[in-house]
Structure 1
Amino acid sequence: MSNILGSVFKVLTFGESHGKLLGCLIDGIPSGFYVNKHKIQKELNLRKPGKSNLVSLRKEKDKLKIISGIFCNRTTGTPLGLIVYNKNKRSLDYKNISKKFRPGHADYTYYKKYNIRDYRGGGRSSARTTVSIVLAGSICKYILKDIYCIDFFSFISCVGGNVNYNSFSKNIKKTIKNKDSLGSSVNILVGNIPNGIGEPLFEKIESEISKTIMGLNAVKAIEFGSGIKCNSYKGSENNDNIYKHGFKSNNSGGVLGGISSGQNLKFTVHIKPTSSISKIQDTIDNNLVEEKIETTGRHDPCIGLRIIPIIESAVAIVIFDLILKHKFSFFF
């Protein structure tokens, strides 16, 4: 199992949905950075569950605890350890599915690969583990902001196939009553990206971002710039004409040949409906016996409502890692 993200700025993530804690160990962060605990906590608060009846009702404070790598509020250059404790576990909610596989979930594949699985909330396959990404990524976000003025702008663009923002809540409430879930899409724009980040051919900036984003729970697709629509464009329509003051359009999504063009980095992420639903479905158990399954517990009816800080954190890690790797940092 691969639990490490990055090549220079390396993030090792650990923990399970119903374990004692979740966290990350960051290796490769330069010394001297001021670590703002309040900004990290702010990102954790944006991600945490239990904030409304439209998301998972699991009540977690997700209180940040720094365990290593900091002295006088600044990084020492040694591994930086960050953790969050799980306080509101209800593992018995999953007892009825301990030997059954949830359709659409990683239960089946984890069991086939490892011959064992943590059925309590999905263990390591749970979206709860994205706490670790936010812990590390929030640091990258405010470093990128403070040094390079890099900003993130994100919004939910689609819920259940509907692009009308005013109807999102209504659709989600209706879906909850029907014991089901909805897919969604999120648009991400990253502003003030420096020119020249990314390495062709196989470490393109969009390749590195795509690999990381596709590693997040429930993400099924990502498209940059004009995305799949480019298959209906002519070259003269899709090309971004260049002038001395910049580009006329941004169908490329801010990337040319795998290298940042200095335009806004623009992409869309598509997220599948939550697999854990209380609607009765068909499945099998560990002995290949066909069964009915009804998943109880507390789950998000639409993952898109809480995924934005996770995606932004993941992208921030990639960008900061590439900056350090390709020596665009002010340290060199």
Structure 2
Amino acid sequence: MNTFGKLFTLTTFGESHGAAVGGIVDGMPAGITIDIDFIQCELARRRPGQSHITTDRKEADKVELLSGVFEGKSTGAPIGFLVRNTNQHSKDYENIRDLFRPSHADYTYYSKYGIRDYRGGGRSSARITLSRVVAGALAKLVLQQQGINITAYTEQVGNIQLDRDYHQYDLSLIDSNPVRCPDPQKAKEMEELIAQVKSEGDTIGGVISCVIKGCPVGLGEPEFGKLHAQLGAAMLSINAVKGFEYGEGFAGASWRGSQQNDTFLPTDDSHQHPLCNIETNHSGGIQGGISNGEDIYFRVAFKPVATLLMEQQTVNMEGESTTMDVQGRHDPCVLPRAVPIIEAMAAMTILDTLLISRTNRF
């Protein structure tokens, strides 16, 4: 499955060390102004080599739009795009071409297909996510016209965690530091931790939070197309993601119903809901699998990057025990570069459900 979505779709292609990575977006509404600078800016937030706490691989990640755009606007036709790979160091992987890297896709890909691209993981590389960022930027351009905004940020790295919810932070500060955390002090601590882990040849994981504002009531298609299920599937398709929760999530499992329920109150013209006002938002903007007009908020857990710059035990392709030393350029923590990927997947999911919801009404 290399295609995401039902009406707004993205089909991706390419490998980490191939000629290019790209995709085809279908279902893009016509007449949308295509801001190429905005798309490029989104890619810059994901690209490698952007700070001392990310991989040293240097890629410009310049996007080329091949179709579906005329005189700066979308035509409604499929939008083809590609980003050329220009800084591959494939020789860094020669010493592991016959080995299975622990916790990577090497073994499972080889077992499934009988062949694998050992250069940076090939198709399983996180570099492929740049196609999602391009498509997500296109989706954002549509959603912005609908008053829908999506913001993600790093909430936790290792044991360093924000202790307040998103309402109590200035989210405009997210891109003011390399960790993409809205708390400057916590961001500094996170940055120092990542730098320390990198110097040890190790890696570390964490949590990204995301907030969707301005989402209308009615998105989501029960029984098997619930909005939270679609968001969860989108997030869990991202490399290194191990968990998804929305609203109060797992923390709410220890509450009582009297604490968890979101109370309905009479509405007036000052409120966005036509029938009632919702006093709290423990549900995370989704009830019964359908958006209720409140902010949608969720958290995504990332494992530590599997590539360690230290000796590890493994086996070769004949099943014989051996050790390995990985070379090359790798992220000690994926979170700073994953923030725009989370936003992109959320944008594509929301736009897809928005388009679907409009087909259900006359």
TM band (smaller chain)? over 0.9
What corresponds to 2:29 in structure 1?
Answer: 30
The normalised TM-score by structure 2 is: 0.89
**Counterparts of 2:2 and 2:32 in 1: how far apart (Å)?**
25
Are residues 1:160 and 2:158 paired? Answer: yes
**Counterparts of 1:271 and 1:172 in 2: how far apart (Å)?**
14
**Counterparts of 1:302 and 1:254 in 2: how far apart (Å)?**
30
What corresponds to 1:183 in structure 2?
Answer: 205
Deviation at 1:151, TM superposition (A): 1.2
**1:108-160 CA distance string (max 9 Å, x none):** 10011011110100001000000100010101112101x21111222211101
What corresponds to 1:143 in structure 2?
Answer: 142
**Counterparts of 2:294 and 2:304 in 1: how far apart (Å)?**
32
**1:29-59 CA distance string (max 9 Å, x none):** 2222221101100100111010111001110
Task: Give structure 2 stretches of 5+ with no counterpart.
Answer: 162-185, 268-276
What corresponds to 1:236 in structure 2?
Answer: 258
- Percent identical among aligned pairs is 40
Are residues 1:214 and 2:236 paired? Answer: yes
Residues 46-65 of structure 1 mapped to structure 2, 5 A cutoff = 46-65=45-64
Are residues 1:247 and 2:278 paired? Answer: yes
**Counterparts of 2:343 and 2:233 in 1: how far apart (Å)?**
14
RMSD over aligned CA atoms reads 1.4
Equivalent of 2:330 in 296, 299, 302: 299
Deviation at 1:237, TM superposition (A): 0.6
Secondary structure (helix, strand or coil) at the match of 1:100 reads: coil
Contact 2:150/2:346 (CA < 8 Å) preserved in 1? no
**Counterparts of 1:161 and 1:193 in 2: how far apart (Å)?**
32
What corresponds to 1:77 in structure 2?
Answer: 76
**1:78-115 CA distance string (max 9 Å, x none):** 21101111111000011111011111111110011011
**Counterparts of 2:30 and 2:143 in 1: how far apart (Å)?**
15
**1:302-323 CA distance string (max 9 Å, x none):** 0011101001001100110111
**Counterparts of 1:50 and 1:277 in 2: how far apart (Å)?**
18
Deviation at 1:13, TM superposition (A): 0.6
**Counterparts of 2:258 and 2:60 in 1: how far apart (Å)?**
52
**Counterparts of 2:278 and 2:346 in 1: how far apart (Å)?**
24
What corresponds to 1:226 in structure 2?
Answer: 248
Contact 2:197/2:332 (CA < 8 Å) preserved in 1? yes
Secondary structure (helix, strand or coil) at the match of 1:68 reads: coil
Segments of 4+ moved more than 4 angstroms: none
Contact 1:161/1:183 (CA < 8 Å) preserved in 2? no
Equivalent of 1:271 in 302, 326, 329: 302
Task: Give structure 1 stretches of 5+ with no counterpart.
Answer: none
Contact 1:158/1:165 (CA < 8 Å) preserved in 2? no
**Counterparts of 2:213 and 2:266 in 1: how far apart (Å)?**
19
Amino acid corresponding to residue 93 of structure 2 in structure 1 = Y
Residues 69-148 of structure 1 mapped to structure 2, 5 A cutoff = 69-145=68-144, 147-148=145-146
**Counterparts of 2:256 and 2:300 in 1: how far apart (Å)?**
24
Secondary structure (helix, strand or coil) at the match of 2:138 reads: helix
**Counterparts of 2:354 and 2:289 in 1: how far apart (Å)?**
14
Contact 2:152/2:342 (CA < 8 Å) preserved in 1? no
What corresponds to 1:316 in structure 2?
Answer: 347
Structure 1 residues 154-163 or 6-15, which shifts more?
154-163
Amino acid corresponding to residue 83 of structure 1 in structure 2 = L
Contact 2:20/2:82 (CA < 8 Å) preserved in 1? yes
Contact 1:172/1:302 (CA < 8 Å) preserved in 2? yes
**Counterparts of 2:30 and 2:227 in 1: how far apart (Å)?**
25
Are residues 1:205 and 2:227 paired? Answer: yes
**Counterparts of 2:208 and 2:318 in 1: how far apart (Å)?**
39
**Counterparts of 1:318 and 1:233 in 2: how far apart (Å)?**
29
Deviation at 1:328, TM superposition (A): 7.4
Amino acid corresponding to residue 318 of structure 1 in structure 2 = T
Deviation at 1:254, TM superposition (A): 0.5
**Counterparts of 2:160 and 2:36 in 1: how far apart (Å)?**
37
**Counterparts of 1:248 and 1:283 in 2: how far apart (Å)?**
54
What corresponds to 2:358 in structure 1?
Answer: 327
**How many residues in Structure 1 have an aligned counterpart in Structure 2?**
329
Structure 1 residues 80-89 or 154-163, which shifts more?
154-163
